[in-house]
Structure formats: C-alpha cells, structure tokens
C-alpha cells in the first residue's frame, strides 16, 4: 500500500484502472488504455490494479464494480467512473487535470 500512496501523490495525473482478470469489459479496456498511454506519454501515469489481488485497497476506495477508473492528482481523487470509455474520452479527462 505504501507504494500506491507514493505513486498517486505525484504532480502529474495518475489514472488507476481497477480491474479483474475474469471481467469482460476490463479486457475491452486493455487496448484502449494502451492507446491512452501512447498518446499521453510522460504527461500521466497509468496504473492497473487487480481487485482480486488488492481487495483491501479496492474496499477502502469503495470500488464495487469493475472496471473502475479513478484519476488522482497530488493524492486526491479528482475524477471517478465505472465502465468502459473511449480512448478520446479518457485522454480528454486526463488532460483536464494536467
């Protein structure tokens, strides 16, 4: 948990994808997040967290469904959404918090 809190407190936006290996929509999101990573390059961090392996963190953050995307800026949650979004929608949202 210490490493997670270090990552989310950075100055650049951190997009956290809470997913599960058995989740169909989560699999749809994989190539979308790869595109987002290619577009955003060093402007943002993308972190994937498996809810089954990190149940305590998922519970603490009240993640009830997957995929859940959360954007952090300097340790604070600035945006949260469940479900699959387009590459453009995610990039646009990250750019709001640069």
**What is the β-pairing status of strands 14-19 and 76-82?**
unpaired
Query: What confidence tens digit (pLDDT) does each residue in 27-69 have?
Result: 999 999 999 999 999 999 999 999 999 999 999 999 999 999 9
Cβ neighbours around 30 below 10 Å, total: 12
**Residue 44 token pair:** 């943002």
Res 62: pLDDT: 97
58, 51 in Cβ contact below 8 A?
yes
Q: Decide if 26 is catalytic.
A: yes
- Beta-bridged to residue 54, according to DSSP, are none
**Residue 72 token pair:** 């952090």
Q: Domain ranges in the chain?
A: 2-96
CATH architecture label of 2-96:
3-Layer(aba) Sandwich (3.40)
Q: H helices within 1-98, ranges in order? A: 2-8, 24-40, 55-60, 87-96
Res 95: pLDDT: 97
Mean pLDDT of the chain: 96
Res 28: pLDDT: 97
In angstroms, the CA 12 to CA 25 distance is: 27
Strand order in the sheet with 14-19: 45-50, 14-19, 68-73, 76-82
Q: Which residue is catalytic, options 20, 23, 46, 84?
A: 23
Res 2: pLDDT: 64
Res 53: pLDDT: 97
Q: What is the pTM of this model?
A: 0.95
């Amino acid at each position: 948990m210490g490493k997670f809190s270090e990552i989310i407190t950075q100055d650049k936006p951190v997009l956290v994808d809470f997913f599960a290996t058995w989740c169909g929509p989560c699999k749809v999101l994989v190539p979308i997040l790869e595109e987002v990573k290619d577009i955003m390059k060093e402007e943002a961090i993308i972190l994937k967290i498996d809810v089954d392996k990190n149940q305590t963190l998922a519970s603490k953050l009240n993640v009830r469904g997957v995929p859940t995307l959360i954007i952090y800026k300097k340790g604070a949650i600035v945006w949260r959404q469940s479900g699959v979004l387009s590459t453009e929608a995610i990039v646009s949202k990250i750019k709001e918090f640069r």
